[in-house]
Amino acid sequence: MADTNMIPRPATPPQPGANADLTTTWAYLLHGVDGIMTRLKDGVSYTKYMGLYTTAYNYCTSSRMHGGSLEAIGGTRTTGANLMGSDLYNSLQRYFRDHLQSIRGQTDSLHDETLLQKYAEEWNRYTVGANYVNRLFTYLNRHWVKREKDEGRKNVYTVYTLALVVWNEEMFKYIQAKNNKLANAILRLIERQRNGESINTGLIKQVVGSFVSLGLDEQDSNRSNLSVYESAFQTPFLLATENYYKAESEQFLAENTVSEYLKKAEARLKEEEDRVEMYLHSSTRKGLILKCEDVLIRAHAQKMWDDFQNLLDFDKDEDLQRMYALLARIPEGLEPLRKKFEDHVRKAGLAAVQKLVGSGGQEAADQVEPKAYVDALLEVHRRNQEVVNRSFKGEAGFVASLDKACRDFVNTNAATGSNAAKSPELLARHTDALLRKSNKMSEEADLEQALNEVMILFKYLEDKDVFQTFYSSKLSKRLIHSVSASDEAEASMISKLKEACGFEYTNKLQRMFTDMSLSKDLTDQFKQKQEQNHGEMEINFSILVLGTNFWPVQAPKIDFNIPADILSTYNRFQGFYQSKHSGRKLTWHWNLSRNELRANKMNPKYIFMTSSYQMSVLLQYNDNDSMTIDELVQATGIPKDQLEPVMNVLIKSKVLLSDEKDTYDYNPNYKNKKIRINLNMPVKTENKQDTSEVLKTVDDDRKFVIQATIVRVMKSRKTMKAQALIAEVTQIIAARFTPRIPDIKKAIDTLLEKEYIERADGTRDTFNYVA
């Protein structure tokens, strides 16, 4: 039967009439269909096409009049149209089957590429033809097929789908049955491409495309699925991929370095992504890439992790980038890198400080220059920050590792030992140096940059309150002694601190500036008033009135004898201030105020810049040429222990002479190259003293902060267990410093004593808030 059908008919059968029976009709249709399927390139004339279409249509519609004369497939039929449709349908199915059976033999002897070529060629011709045939039988599709489907019959398809189903069964399964010949041919071709040969990718695309088309949803034949593609091709393809790369990667790693392998793996992954793009179905991407990642990355992750330190040590940026990109593909890939990176940074930081301190031990650690220290820390941070940004694309996990490591080595290193306050102190001292007039930063932008760098380290400080205390002490000195480089820089630094730690943190600092400008106004007003009342003043007077509590300076408890030379100015200002702010009183800081003196009898008339203590001493020599220390104490009101350092400076500068112990003489032959001489040198011991004072302040402040925090927490919670309370307080305070648990316990005891809180009845560790 197949043979008779397939013989090209020399003569076209005549077009049957409207009521022709199946045999006549099919004979005509068969000739046309076969022509379309096998000799489409010869063309089909319009009349012929119309004739075929009309015949199919006529058969389906006219048959209604025949009534149910034929028994048909599948159960009872009530209308003739159904029966007649099924006749046509069955005939078509038979034709497709016969057609494919007649050509499939040609593939038997073919292999690999030639097989694929033949398959693709036949597939193309078949599908194009089937498409036309499908259109010829539009009427059948729309009515008979649709009704059958609506009634729930499976295995009835539209004509084109029918053609595909038959291809699947007769052609595809036939070839595949021989050891998956078709799929294997593709796999071999792909393998050749992986090995570097160039292949005809279009061919694979066509064949793979046919697999995709052949998949049908069994539930709903209108929809396609990928069942055929997946089972016939994708599964074996993934398996082949896995085997291929497993072998390749193992061999490659055995012969090459990890760096080389990174390049290879990167290239391979890219290749596979392109492969999907080029000729596979996009649904394969996920599975394929996962498989590749598994074989190429996960399987060798340990080796990469092991090599990571090596790359870091030699700063191999490209390799690091590559390793990051590869390991980022697998979820667990980066964590070990982050850990190692953290250790690496920590070690680098500790080593940098160690190098700075040298082997001098504690003494050397104490002598560390703030600038060198800060620069060393910054350098480590900068270098590793770059690595994070460049090699690791600024990935959050690595940023966190960097931060964690920095926090560790910034707070505890060879220079700090176990002294947690050392790092904040050094940083504050460095900042102080930056903001002083003596700092010769050529450009404002440079200074700004330097301040920003300070903030980088500041962020890592654990005890920010220590920094704050040192900073405010340094700031107050800069302001009182007028040695601040620029108001803008100071303001900029404060706004940075505010940004980092909030209003509370910089409140006092900001307040100092307010006092500065208020004092300037006050000085101006006072001067104006004086000029009106008394004419020009002999003494150029200016004052800084500080608000208590904001300035970390203590007034000395001495009974200073105000020299007669300035007494009138002193009294006038007292009166002026009273009238302006009644209800306030002033406490004068003689130890902080300073003067300029002109030596009228000397030639040239030297100008001495002095502290007020020095002034009061020198004024004594207006009337005397020689005085003992006791006389000076008496005359100035400065206690002996504070007076001695003052005298030392004066002796050293040779303004006074001391031939005998405790006796000081005026030096009539004083000479100096400069006219203006600064005698107001800071006393050397100041620094050391400063540090312990600051730390004491910090300790006191902390006690209050802890107590206040406990009260706040208790106020909102009313009742709390000790453990939970300590945890919450620690967490809240951590932004400022790391509180020690014994300190918190002590604070709780204090609050119990002061009856802010009480122990809940019958418990040892539960507290109630006392309103």
Here the tokens at position 362 are 């504690």
Q: Which is nearer to other proteins, 181 or 478 (CB)?
A: 478
Q: Which is nearer to other proteins, 14 or 547 (CB)?
A: 547
Q: Which is nearer to other proteins, 109 or 587 (CB)?
A: 587
SS3 769: strand
| Shortest Å, Cβ 575 to other proteins | 8
Q: Which is nearer to other proteins, 251 or 540 (CB)?
A: 540
| Shortest Å, Cβ 599 to other proteins | 5
| Shortest Å, Cβ 713 to other proteins | 18
Q: Which is nearer to other proteins, 401 or 612 (CB)?
A: 612
SS3 603: coil
DSSP code at position 656: E
| Shortest Å, Cβ 708 to other proteins | 12
DSSP code at position 317: H
Residue in this structure with the two tokens 């307040």, named with its chain if needed? 511
Q: How far apart are CA 160 and CA 145, in angstroms?
A: 12
Instruction: Judge whether 616 and 597 are in contact, CB under 8 Å.
Output: no
Q: How far apart are CA 564 and CA 9, in angstroms?
A: 140
Q: How far apart are CA 98 and CA 30, in angstroms?
A: 12
| Shortest Å, Cβ 546 to other proteins | 5
| Shortest Å, Cβ 719 to other proteins | 25
Q: Which is nearer to other proteins, 65 or 564 (CB)?
A: 564
Q: What is the length of the chain?
A: 771
| Shortest Å, Cβ 589 to other proteins | 4
CB within 8 A of 264, min separation 6: which ones? Answer: 249, 252, 256
Three-state SS letters, 686-755: HHHHHHHHHHHHHHHHHHHHHHHHHHHHHHHHCEEEHHHHHHHHHHHHCCCCCCCHHHHHHHHHHHHHCC
Q: Which is nearer to other proteins, 438 or 548 (CB)?
A: 548
Q: Which is nearer to other proteins, 562 or 727 (CB)?
A: 562
Which long-range contacts link 336-341 to residues 24+ away (Cβ below 8 Å)?
336/301, 336/305, 336/308, 337/305, 337/308, 337/398, 338/397, 338/398, 338/400, 338/401, 339/401, 340/305, 340/308, 340/309, 340/312, 341/308, 341/312, 341/384, 341/387, 341/392, 341/398, 341/401, 341/402, 341/405
Q: ∠ CA(640), CA(643), CA(648), 5° rounding?
A: 125
Q: Which is nearer to other proteins, 568 or 763 (CB)?
A: 568
Q: Which is nearer to other proteins, 482 or 738 (CB)?
A: 482
Query: Residues interacting with other proteins, by CB under 8 A?
Result: 480, 482, 507, 511, 514, 538-549, 551, 555, 557, 563, 565-566, 569, 573, 577-578, 581-589, 592-601, 607-608, 612, 615, 618-619, 621-622, 625, 666
| Shortest Å, Cβ 596 to other proteins | 4
| Sequence letter at residue 646 | V
| Shortest Å, Cβ 619 to other proteins | 7
Instruction: Judge whether 135 and 143 are in contact, CB under 8 Å.
Output: no
Q: Which is nearer to other proteins, 131 or 542 (CB)?
A: 542
Here the tokens at position 31 are 């000739």
| Shortest Å, Cβ 391 to other proteins | 47
| Shortest Å, Cβ 600 to other proteins | 5
Handedness of CA 208, 209, 212, 213 (dihedral sign): negative
